[in-house]
Amino acid sequence: MSDIIRRPTHLAARAVEALWVVALLLGLWELVGRRSHTVFFPPFSKVCSQFADDWLTNRPSTLFLTDNFWDTVPITLSRFARGWAIAVVAGIGIGVVLGRSPIVRVMYSPIIRFFMSLPNAALLPIALQFFGLGGGMNLFLIAFGTVWLIATNTADGVGDVNDEWMRTARSLRLPHRTLYARVILPAASPHIFAGLRVSVGFALILMVVGEYYATTAGLGHAVSRFQQTFRYTEMWSAFLLIALIGIVVNMAFDAIERRALRWQRRAGLAEL
């Protein structure tokens, strides 16, 4: 009985511990917005009211979301998903090659480090030059800006596979496909998922940057349109929606990561 009571109390304490900073920041936002009397920084309560008008409705047939939401958000999420998927496939492939071949890694590591140190927003003029306005530019910006994070983490994971595991696999004469599928990639998966987690955040940023400057649809374009027409409350409403999408995407990735790595125990991994 005591365990049943203790568990909800413990969960509530953890929720308070995790959210008190957010509540404090939102309270400060409301206070500063009310005291500033400027159109550029409206109070949080006003932004929430605008958010409900812009993105929410009482129609169950549209999942309680407005037509504006369905005209804007799916385009943005489609660009994000396709660009990030390209980066995942290419990054893991490049990382496996780098991790398995020390010679290739020595040869190409400086190039990869160069692209990693290059500010991602600086790629925008290059992407515009080659792809022009449209979805292709956004896909390139997201994929090229995140692929190197995935590649380097994958290479680190593949290169750090336990030597005893590799000797055992070779002694069993496992086919190359089985070796990678059953030994190398599972052993490197914690590093791979670490790279994927960081790349998700960068992909979301590049998605918004690309749409802000060089598209005619999507959330980033909506932010740009609101800013240029001095509709600042609607601009902040779009910012809030972008933040919520980022939270949902990260929560979904966290659930996938925990399920994929459920075999792993950090204490046990540290003892290897």
Write the pLDDT tens digit of every residue in 178-231: 888 888 888 888 899 999 999 998 899 888 888 888 777 888 889 989 988 999
Phi (first) and psi of residue 65, to 5 degrees = -120, 145
Does residue 206 belong to any structural domain of this protein? yes
Residue 82 and residue 135 in one domain: yes
Name the residue among 229, 233, 207, 202 with its Cα closest to residue 220. 207
Write the pLDDT tens digit of every residue in 222-265: 998 998 899 999 999 999 999 999 999 999 998 888 888 877 65
Answer whether 241's CB lies under 8 Å from 47's CB: no
Please state, in angstroms and rounded to a whole number, the distance separating the CA atoms of residues 226 and 237. Answer: 10
Amino acid letter at 202?
F
Total domain count for the chain? 2
Q: Where are the alpha helices (DSSP H) in 101-134?
A: 102-117, 124-131
Does residue 52 belong to any structural domain of this protein? no
- Tokens standing for 173? 């004469």
Residue 69 and residue 130 in one domain: yes
Please state, in angstroms and rounded to a whole number, the distance separating the CA atoms of residues 70 and 76. Answer: 10
Q: Which domain holds residue 21?
A: 2-37
CB atoms within 10 A of CB 81: 14
14 pLDDT band, cuts 50/70/90, is: low
Does residue 174 belong to any structural domain of this protein? yes
* pTM, two decimal places: 0.82
Please state, in angstroms and rounded to a whole number, the distance separating the CA atoms of residues 250 and 258. Answer: 12
